[in-house]
Chain A
Amino acid sequence: MFLRSLPCQSCARTMAGLLSMVLLAGSAPAQNPPGTPHNEVLIKNALVMTATHGNIPNANVYVKDGKIAAVGKDVSAPASATVVDAEGKYLTPGIIDSHSHIALDNDVNEATSPVTPHMMMIDAFDYQDKAIYHGLAGGVTTSLLLHGSANMIGGQAVVIKHKYGANRDAMLFPGAPRSIKFASGENPKRVYGGRDQLPSTRMGNFAVQREALVQAQDYMREWDAYEAKVKDGDKDATPPKRDLKLEALADVLRGKLLVQIHCYRADEMLTEIAMAKEFGYKLRAFHHALEAYKVADQLAAAGVGIATFSDWWGFKQEAWDAIPWNAVMAMRKGVRVAIKSDSEDFARRLNQEAGKTMRYGGATEEEALRMITLNAAWIIGVEDRVGSIDVGKDADLVIWDGYPLSSYGVPSKVFIDGDLYFDRSLPGFGMPHYKEGM
């Protein structure tokens, strides 16, 4: 259906491949290769759930150059645009998973030291992992792939778009801010305590974290002094030795990284807030945050969001006080709340998880939707780019069979940057750009 013109000669082979696939697929529409500029799509007659300004029934969304170009009842498009009729269906922004460990081929934790801020998750990113496809088929278009929670200070995340079948670099979210994973509580205790190493207690946890931050302060001071000398024209100034670990932490102190903290218990959230204040960095979000409802006022005051489960509980001691009303109770106190997966399984049905917040605590439909779109985008720091159906945002869109915030919502088609990446009606894997063995 995007087969207007062959964009370039070198694409011809790909096109031939796609065409043969299309022929095999019978009536399936033709596609132009992902990322082709000037793709134009008009999604018509959908119930558009914008996530920012309510629902628009029987509305159209015009997509051009991978961006949302127009939204509304009377929106039309040039004849060159591919028309997708979504009558009787729902259209939402692409779902955003603000806590994921997929596509890392089990390289989630560099659990050899409790402080590893120089680990870069992109170095482990396995872009061929089928879990990316499974999430895509559940409507997920963007995920934050985080380091695990074995370490008090883990590694730096990578933000991906679920363009399964595209090459590795095409899957990276361009210009996404850097995030770093911190952790607290039982996991670091268990991992290192189990080896009779520091930390084995919550005292140990926070001592390790503070010590690392103090070292980073010293490191930053050395570099600041050096740069000041250079600035003053001191030609004899010698740069301090670069230390990747401390450099990453210095970036935390300089506010260059979004700090994402794995934290369950209320008291630990307060300690983390206090430590951030002491060292002068800002926290972006507490992840899991199952006791956020106990300290929601303090979280709101500190401007920290949460990325939480809808109703998971009891899997460990620090999840024993989890209640399914957590998300809405925290939200009502002014905390920005996202529902995340932290699981290959849940990533495939985050829409249902968000739907549960309407039942547990009475989130409105739009509030529930934001927990897996705009609020999740904010946690990742890409809220200006994705997370709602607004003009100028990336055309990451999901057409749903069935009401999305229910047990019955299933993605029918998923677009990323205006390209169709998943189509339930297609045979095989349902991915127009993917062929097994690619």
Chain B
Amino acid sequence: MQTTRNFVRCRLAPRFLLAYLCLCTPVLAQQEQVALRGGKLLTVSHGTIDDGVVVMENGRITAVGSVNLVHVAKNARVIDVKGMTVYPGLIDSETALGLTEISAEPMTNDLIESSEEIMPHMHVYDAFHAESELIPVTRLNGITNAIVAPANRDTLPGQDSFVQLAGRSAEEMLLVRDVALPLNFSGEQRRDERGESRKFPSTRMGLAAQLRQTFLDAQDYAQRWTDYEKRKADYEKAKSEAPAKADDKNQGKDKKQPPSPPKHDLKLEALLPYLEGKKLVVLAAEEANDLETAVGLTREFNLKFVLNHISHAQSVLDYVASLKVPVIVGPIYEDPKPDERYDAVYSLPAQLNKRGVKIAFASYDAHNSRNLPYQAGFATAFGLPHEEALKAVTLNAAEIWGVADRLGSLDVGKTANIVVANGDPLDVKTDVKQVFIEGKEIPMTSRQTRLRDQYSEQ
């Protein structure tokens, strides 16, 4: 708002243009400096600062510290946040945001391409709907970033994107396209449908064999391209040396055709960065047996992976810890199995944390992504330290998804995704008062607040 106003003033007052330029230049060239002063800062990376100030400029955090120690520019816009808690924007490590609007209305859903089991060439970014009404609803609760993943009905359903929940277009919101490849092996991937139609695969053996064949095919595909590149290079080399032998008598006889490239295969091509260990596979399993089979598969092909769910793998948590990979845990609201104690799943985050496993929470939802922090809070009631719970929806997630240089904590240089709330970020009673995304004050409105206001009038 400030920016617009100053800009208008400049244009309407040419007489004072020079004088105004002094004032306006910084505004025109960049965002004003904004300082949130007096709040309790949960930095996540370096503890709590009780009477703190965060300064933002040009969409970045430029200062964080105690009120006494941080210099705030004279012309900065200072927002008094006394009594408030200030923390980094929350990151939901798996959602369907932008892929669904009304769950029961098929035409508003782009969740999964279920015609085939192996669909790594599906890209979430091709469907991501930036104007979804769910996005403002979600960010109003302090969630500023999310993984968007296809639904889990295929073993390889497509590739995830890492998004920011504000922006003028999908282009702006998609921070990392194809950030990871989900590999679902929970034993439920379309087994029923396949079973009925007697189509392969209908068992875990089938799913595993199909995956193995797929990765072998992709390796083979990569080899064919490598061979081709080599042949092509040889050919180019031969050709470049050719003029020197232009008078060679045998030239015509030995003349080589340029090598023809292999046929493109989008499916196999999509798998290459994962086979090369350049990108992350998100390995989903629920129970111990599936987990071990799936880990075996990723080992066979040297895939770099994180684990997902493992909701009923309590018996092998030491094994999980020995893998030294992070776990996207939950949803902890998953019902326990009949032979499990009521809190078997609730206490999983604490159990993993105790074993030194890095965890992050996910809502695995779209409409209810806004409830992500409460899941982390609930896990603390079952032994997860509060500090770790907060990390699991901020910095841990940023680290897992490779964006910790930009997100996940209140640190100088990071993107100014900042939440101001009237209390503990993980408690259901807490009201989020203001969200900043890339330093911009997000309007605290959604379709839902508009309905509320409309029917509160009268």
Which A positions have Cβ atoms within 8 angstroms of B?
130-131, 133-134, 137-138, 186, 293-294, 311-317, 319-325, 329, 344-345, 348-349, 352, 355-356, 358-359, 401-402, 405-410, 428-430, 436
Q: Would you call B452 and A293 a contact (CB within 8 A)?
A: yes
Number of cross-chain contacts by CB at 8 Å: 105
Q: Would you call A294 and B428 a contact (CB within 8 A)?
A: no
Q: Would you call B367 and A409 a contact (CB within 8 A)?
A: no
Interface digits, B419-431 against A, CB 8 Å rule (1 contact, 0 not)?
A: 0000000111111
Q: Would you call A323 and B102 a contact (CB within 8 A)?
A: no
Rank and list the top 3 A-B pairs by shortest CB-CB distance, nearest first: A407-B377, A316-B104, A137-B342
The yes or no answer to B117 lying at the interface (CB within 8 A) is no
Determine how close the nearest CB of chain A comes to the CB of B375; give it in whole angstroms. Answer: 8
Tell which of B54-62, B215-223, B332-340 binds the partner: B332-340
Q: Would you call A358 and B382 a contact (CB within 8 A)?
A: no
A349 to B341 Cα, complex, angstroms? 16
A49 to B70 Cα, complex, angstroms? 44
Determine how close the nearest CB of chain B comes to the CB of A269; give it in whole angstroms. Answer: 14
Q: Which residues of B contact A131 (CB under 8 A)?
A: 335
The yes or no answer to B343 lying at the interface (CB within 8 A) is yes
Q: Would you call A402 and B341 a contact (CB within 8 A)?
A: no
Q: Would you call A314 and B428 a contact (CB within 8 A)?
A: no
Q: Would you call B335 and A316 a contact (CB within 8 A)?
A: no
The yes or no answer to B410 lying at the interface (CB within 8 A) is no
A410 to B343 Cα, complex, angstroms? 10
Select B452's contact among A329, A402, A406, beta carbons within 8 Å: A329
Q: Would you call A407 and B333 a contact (CB within 8 A)?
A: no
A131 to B426 Cα, complex, angstroms? 27
Q: Would you call A430 and B341 a contact (CB within 8 A)?
A: yes
Interface digits, B123-145 against A, CB 8 Å rule (1 contact, 0 not)?
A: 00000000000100000000000
Which B positions have Cβ atoms within 8 angstroms of A?
101-105, 134, 333, 335-336, 338-339, 341-343, 366-368, 370-371, 373-374, 377-378, 380-382, 426-431, 448-449, 451-452, 455-456
Q: Would you call A408 and B338 a contact (CB within 8 A)?
A: no
- Name 14 interchain pairs, CB-CB below 8 A, sorted by A: A133-B342, A294-B455, A311-B370, A312-B367, A314-B102, A314-B367, A315-B104, A319-B102, A323-B449, A356-B429, A358-B428, A406-B427, A408-B378, A408-B380
A321 to B449 Cα, complex, angstroms? 11
A79 to B451 Cα, complex, angstroms? 58
Q: Would you call A407 and B134 a contact (CB within 8 A)?
A: no
Determine how close the nearest CB of chain B comes to the CB of A77; give it in whole angstroms. Answer: 30
Q: Would you call B427 and A407 a contact (CB within 8 A)?
A: yes
Q: Would you call A402 and B381 a contact (CB within 8 A)?
A: yes
Select A313's contact among B342, B382, B426, B448, beta carbons within 8 Å: B448
A345 to B346 Cα, complex, angstroms? 12
A349 to B451 Cα, complex, angstroms? 27
Apart from A294-B455, A407-B381, A408-B378: 13 A-B pairs, beta carbons within 8 A: A134-B335, A313-B448, A323-B448, A323-B452, A329-B452, A329-B455, A352-B378, A352-B428, A356-B429, A406-B429, A407-B426, A407-B427, A407-B428
Q: Would you call A317 and B335 a contact (CB within 8 A)?
A: no
Q: Which residues of A contact B451 (CB under 8 A)?
A: 293, 321, 323
Q: Would you call A316 and B105 a contact (CB within 8 A)?
A: yes
Q: Would you call B452 and A355 a contact (CB within 8 A)?
A: no
Q: Would you call A407 and B343 a contact (CB within 8 A)?
A: no
Select B455's contact among A293, A358, A429, beta carbons within 8 Å: A293
Known: A323-B451, A428-B341. A358 touches B429 (CB 8 A): yes
A369 to B60 Cα, complex, angstroms? 42
- Which residue of chain B lies nearest to A129 when distances are taken between CB atoms in the complex? B338
Question: By CB atoms of chain B within 10 A, which of A133, A313, A401 has the most?
Answer: A313
Known: A316-B103, A402-B381. A355 touches B428 (CB 8 A): yes
Select A314's contact among B134, B333, B381, beta carbons within 8 Å: B134
A410 to B455 Cα, complex, angstroms? 35
Q: Which residues of A contact B370 (CB under 8 A)?
A: 311
Q: Would you call A317 and B105 a contact (CB within 8 A)?
A: yes
Q: Which residues of A contact B380 (CB under 8 A)?
A: 407-408
Q: Would you call A130 and B430 a contact (CB within 8 A)?
A: no
Select B381's contact among A312, A405, A408, beta carbons within 8 Å: A408
A320 to B108 Cα, complex, angstroms? 12
Q: Which residues of A contact B367 (CB under 8 A)?
A: 312-315
A356 to B371 Cα, complex, angstroms? 10
Determine how close the nearest CB of chain A comes to the CB of B397; give it in whole angstroms. Answer: 18
A312 to B369 Cα, complex, angstroms? 11
Known: A315-B104, A316-B104. A408 touches B368 (CB 8 A): no
Select A344's contact among B102, B103, B335, beta carbons within 8 Å: B335
Q: Which residues of A contact B428 (CB under 8 A)?
A: 352, 355-356, 358-359, 405-407
A375 to B185 Cα, complex, angstroms? 44
Known: A312-B368, A356-B428. A134 touches B101 (CB 8 A): no
A294 to B452 Cα, complex, angstroms? 9
Known: A321-B451, A345-B335. A329 touches B456 (CB 8 A): yes
Determine how close the nearest CB of chain A comes to the CB of B423; give it in whole angstroms. Answer: 9
A130 to B333 Cα, complex, angstroms? 15
